[in-house]
A and B are shown apart, each in its own frame.
Chain A
Amino acid sequence: MELVEAIILSVLAASTPLLIAATGELVTERSGVLNLGVEGMMIVGAACGFGGAWLTGSIFIGALFGIVAGTLMSLVFALMALGLAVNQVATGLALTILGVGLSGLIGARFVGERITPAAHLHIPGLTDIPLIGRILFGEDAFVYFSLALIIGVWWFLYRTRAGLILRACGDNHVSAHALGYPVLKIRMLAVMFGGACAGLAGAYLPLAYTPFFIPGMTAGRGWIALALVVFASWRPGRLVIGAYLFGAVTILQLHAQGWGVGIPSQFMSALPYLATVIVLVLLSRARTGGSTAPAALGTVFVPDR
């Protein structure tokens, strides 16, 4: 029982940064912009988040530093890809390279330092319930925030007019422009939201997951978040399933390797990817037609004036 509880707790911890970063990227892509710089924004968010917390001693201010850093990184992308209409794929890749270098520079002086990680919730009575108590009522604030975030994004996209306009920009920017919507402005806001989420997801790693900063500590999570958005066919609900499934299989295969299951470790390491792809492909088969991807995704828009 102890083991099951420990596994579920580590699954949630492993999944949360993926979920936060992927949520931001989902909103960005729904507006029609493909920002491949998630990994770069995350790692800069991690360095700045750790720096903020180390300097002030506050996890909250550290998280804010992460958010601001991610947003600033995304503004670089917005300036290039939206303002100057540069190819989005190239700009996003460049942003990741920039972010990896920049985070090394910013984080150099923090390497080897430690902070007190984010506190976990403790409600006497509730948190002490065996098995489910710590899982439901004993998480850190990031876990609860990530779930509120994805529910908020779902509500925004499907229940508000602003969300409808954002989806419209992603579906057909020419029509959205013809109806008088400021396509570039909307996309810039969506890109900034994606940057803020990526920065926060990056900051989660040194603030809650491991209480120290090392260069390259995002270890490809930004790329996984990008892939999750695609496999979730741009739907918030599936994104939650995908993120937790990926986290779960990652942790389980680690334990399985520890127990000495007679399967090559390379195959076990590939399992999370395989399982996520298979499940999300099965899910997306349910749709009978139309296009699942935002139709204008990754295309440059220059309004004629």
Chain B
Amino acid sequence: MQAYQRMLDPTPNGLHSGESPLLQTLGLSKRYGDFLANDSIDIDIWPKEIHALLGENGAGKSTLVKAIYGLIQPSAGEIRWQGEPIVLSGPSEARSRGIGMVFQHFSLFDNLTVAENVALGLDGKESFKDMSARLEQVSKTYGLPLDPRREVWQLSVGERQRIEIVRALMQDPKFLILDEPTAVLTPQEADQLFIVLERLKAEGRAILYISHKLEEVKRLCDTATILRGGKKVDTCNPRLETAASLARMMVGGEIKEVKAAAGRQTTIPRLVVNDLSLTPDEAHGVRLEHISFELKGGEILGIAGVAGNGQDELFAALSGERLSKDPGTVVIEGIAAGHLSITKRRKLGAAFVPEERLGHGTAPRMRLSENALLTGHAASGMVHRGFIDTAATLKTVDRATETFDVRKAKRDPEAASLSGGNLQKFIVGREILRNPAVLVVSQPTWGVDAGAAAVIRQALLDLATAGAAVLVTSQDLDELAEIADRIAVMFHGHLSEPLATRDATREKLGLLMGGSSLEPKEAAHAVGA
């Protein structure tokens, strides 16, 4: 059995000779009713290994890691820890054995402080004071700064993730599971995380790394296991694969490449922001400082930046969730709209897709048709004399479903029942089908699988080709590079001058995202030339 296992082991020869895997699953299956979320999965994780777990949304990655972390009980198969079969009664047992986890959907408590959140993830053997001291030390050692006394609701997405990582590190785990850790980080922050991970690996720990970013996996991971439809497709060495071959294994076919139509024409300015400054309405929000830009029809402007630098506030100011006293600060289709409500701005031809899918983009417990009505009531003929035209709302759902390949169990399910990627396709689709002149979209593909992301990006490009002005806020620089014509960076409420995408290297953007100015370097170049 051992010999057989070793033969299957795909990592370079000799690396693991004489050792047994740190963690092993043998024929692990999990069944929910008729649905087989995991179908006899075998995976070996060795010490000193960063092991990637790849697959589309719904491929069974989350189910597998939940079983390894003791959150759910497998229906069949076994888990071996250091060669011995174990049954995990729950996450606290997993943690006591040395299994740590950083969740994709953060398991944080908004109304508790950072220190309290960390304390809840530990076994509570040390006093709160000692724990707080150790928290500050660990966050300093690994370069993950945190203020233990702040409450979580005041923190940005990036800071929240830092809490999760520090919390996991404080358990001193032998094996750490990370679920899409870089989705919300800047390239520099991601690089820093990779240094932390390399260091953890050198300390003899194993890491299971879930990510959609294939280049990152190729760079960081020693082994990759690919899941599709609940089954294991393959285990391979990602460094010997290409991003395209990995993607093929994940999807089971080719992914359509996103293509911009040649010869896109820019037309008139459709969205203009003039010297927009806005004080935040909550104590820890970011103040917007003299933001100005002009966005023409047929153009896509990308806004990069670390989460929590004013992107949310800018979105609120553009969408009309926050009003400006000076109407001229936001001009939509030539009409001063800074003082207009969100409905009035929609009537001018603007459409908005916020970052948060559940709770902001949709009302989770309402049906898709009702959610279509919520943004479409003003300008899409869904209401006649105060009565809802149910047929029209259903038609919107059907059109979005068809055009954007939204996969769902029923014709008109509750929004919360859709997977993240499918719900995002629906939300973007719902707005695009209104034929907006201006589309403001925030984090269009956050936590969305490669197939759905390609569909959404293509839709944004097509919308621009059709003459609309599109503003995309994203933390994913590859995404911006793929679709945006110009990229600007937000830092501490300031917006940089937009750079043409071909000039916007990762280094330049990274500097801007960290608050440095480009000018001295530019000047030096100019002198050099």
Residues of A that sit less than 8 Å from B by CB: 161, 164-165, 167-168, 171-172, 174-181, 288-291, 294-295, 304-305
Contacts and interface: CB of A to CB of B under 8 A. Distances in A.
A82 B90 CA distance: 20
B91 A289 contact: no
A85 to B, nearest CB: 16
Given A180-B91, A289-B282, A289-B284, A175 B72 contact: no
A168 B117 CA distance: 9
B254 interface: no
Contacts of A168: 109, 112, 116, 120
Interface string B99-112: 00001001111111
B121 A179 contact: yes
B153 interface: yes
B70 interface: yes
B266 interface: no
A290 B91 contact: no
Nearest to B106: A175
B110 A178 contact: no
A178 B111 contact: no
B92 interface: yes
A174 to B, nearest CB: 7
A167 B108 CA distance: 12
15 contacts: A161-B124, A164-B119, A171-B109, A171-B112, A172-B110, A178-B71, A179-B91, A179-B121, A180-B70, A180-B92, A288-B282, A289-B154, A289-B284, A295-B111, A305-B72
Given A164-B119, A288-B283, A289-B284, A179 B107 contact: yes
Given A172-B108, A175-B107, A175-B109, A164 B153 contact: no
Contacts of A305: 72-73
B103 A291 contact: no
A290 B111 contact: yes
Given A175-B106, A289-B283, 11 more contacts: A164-B116, A164-B119, A165-B120, A167-B111, A178-B71, A180-B92, A288-B283, A289-B282, A295-B111, A304-B72, A305-B73
A288 B282 CA distance: 7
Interface in B19-74: 70-73
Contacts of A176: 109, 120
B90 A180 contact: yes
B296 interface: no
A179 B282 CA distance: 30
Interface string B417-452: 000000000000000000000000000000000000
A161 B119 contact: yes
Contact of A178 (B107, B119, B124): B107
Interface residues of B, number: 30
A121 B124 CA distance: 41
Nearest to B151: A290
Contacts of A304: 72
A174 B116 contact: no
Nearest to A159: B128
Given A164-B119, A180-B91, A291 B107 contact: no
Nearest to A169: B109
B228 interface: no
B107 A174 contact: yes
A18 B476 CA distance: 55
Closest 4 CB pairs of A and B: A180-B91, A175-B107, A180-B92, A178-B107
B345 interface: no
Given A178-B71, A178-B103, A179-B121, A291 B91 contact: no
A175 B108 contact: yes
B95 interface: yes
Contacts of B107: 172, 174-175, 178-179
Contacts of B90: 180
A174 B71 CA distance: 11
A167 B112 CA distance: 8
A172 B116 CA distance: 13
A179 B120 contact: yes
Q: Which of A161, A288, A304, A305 has the most CB of B within 10 A?
A: A161
Given A289-B282, A289-B283, A178 B91 contact: yes
B167 to A, nearest CB: 9
Contacts of A295: 110-111
A71 B216 CA distance: 56
B490 to A, nearest CB: 22
Interface string B221-246: 00000000000000000000000000
Nearest to A167: B112
A176 B282 CA distance: 27
Given A179-B91, A289-B154, A171 B72 contact: no
Contacts of A289: 153-154, 282-284
Q: Which of A164, A171, A179, A294 has the most CB of B within 10 A?
A: A179
Contacts of A181: 120
Nearest to A304: B72
Contact of B153 (A175, A179, A290): A290
A145 to B, nearest CB: 28
A164 B120 CA distance: 8
B321 to A, nearest CB: 16
Given A164-B120, A165-B120, A288-B283, A171 B154 contact: no
Q: Which of A172, A175, A294 has the most CB of B within 10 A?
A: A175
Contacts of A288: 282-283
A171 B70 contact: no
Contacts of B120: 164-165, 168, 176, 179, 181
Contacts of B71: 177-178, 180
Given A161-B119, A178-B71, A290 B110 contact: yes
Contacts of B70: 180
A174 B91 CA distance: 13
Interface in B269-303: 282-284
Contacts of B91: 178-180
A164 B112 contact: yes
A79 to B, nearest CB: 23
Contacts of B119: 161, 164
Interface in B142-183: 151, 153-154
A294 B124 CA distance: 23
Contacts of B93: 180
Nearest to A234: B111
A232 B419 CA distance: 39
Q: Which of A180, A288, A305 has the most CB of B within 10 A?
A: A180
Nearest to A162: B124
A291 B112 contact: no
A296 to B, nearest CB: 10
A29 to B, nearest CB: 13
A172 B109 CA distance: 6
Q: Which of B70, B73, B108 has the most CB of A within 10 A?
A: B108
Nearest to A164: B116
Contacts of B283: 288-289
A165 B123 CA distance: 12
Nearest to B285: A289
Contacts of B151: 290
Contacts of B106: 175
A290 B70 CA distance: 32
A171 B111 contact: yes
Contacts of B116: 164, 168
Interface in B177-232: none
